[in-house]
């Protein structure tokens, strides 16, 4: 069953021992604030150097793979979520695409365990409960069609994010 392969935790994503962590990046892949800055800081300067070699950076809704460098995670998938504009600019679709593309890239590289942050919910201002619902439902649908992924962890920063993701997961339970 798909739901038994999903966890929701409160932790520092940079400390997790999984195959790949997901970075809520910006299109330039040059680091920034929030989880992006924390991942770049923890991975060390070689991450930025590797990101500079990716032509065109990463458009919104897409995903790119780099090495984890100094992280416990072997790899980092960088994905760029949408900036919230009130819900009329395909933000829901772009956010769901971030999760699908990240999971697809993971499967394409034979990776088994992944941890996601709450993409677009920080400075991009995507409403937290709406984002959590999209994240969990998109991931559950992907896992239903693909059994190669062993574990998906939603790594929440702070109680509001944790509660929103737990509620979204509970809403998927039959």
Residues serving a catalytic function are: 36
Which helix or strand (DSSP H or E) is residue 21 part of?
A: strand 20-24
Q: Is the CB of residue 14 less than 8 Å from the CB of residue 117?
A: no
For the CA atoms of 58, 19, 37, 163, the dihedral, rounded to the nearest 10 degrees, stands at: 100
- Rounded Cα distance between 13 and 171, Å, is 24
Tokens 């409160």: give the residue: 10
- DSSP state letters, 151-168: EEEEEESSHHHHHHHHHH
* Residue from 51, 57, 61 nearest 120 by CA: 61
Q: Rg of the Cα trace of the chain?
A: 15
H helices within 117-158, ranges in order? 128-144
């Amino acid at each position: 069953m798909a739901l038994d392969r999903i966890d929701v935790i409160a932790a520092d994503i940079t400390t997790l021992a999984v195959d790949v962590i997901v970075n809520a990046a910006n299109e330039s892949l040059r680091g920034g604030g929030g989880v992006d800055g924390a991942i770049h800081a923890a991975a060390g300067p070689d991450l930025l150097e590797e990101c500079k070699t990716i032509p065109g950076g990463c458009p919104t809704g897409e995903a790119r793979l780099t090495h984890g460098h100094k992280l416990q995670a072997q790899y980092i998938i960088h994905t760029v979520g949408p900036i919230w504009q009130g819900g009329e600019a395909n933000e829901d679709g772009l956010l769901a695409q971030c999760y699908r593309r990240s999971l697809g890239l993971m499967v394409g590289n034979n990776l088994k365990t992944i941890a996601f942050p709450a993409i677009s919910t920080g400075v991009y201002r995507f409403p937290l409960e709406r984002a959590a619902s999209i994240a969990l439902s998109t991931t559950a649908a992907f896992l239903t069609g693909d059994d190669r992924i062993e574990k998906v962890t939603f790594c929440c920063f702070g109680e509001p994010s944790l509660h929103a993701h737990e509620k979204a997961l509970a809403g998927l339970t039959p």
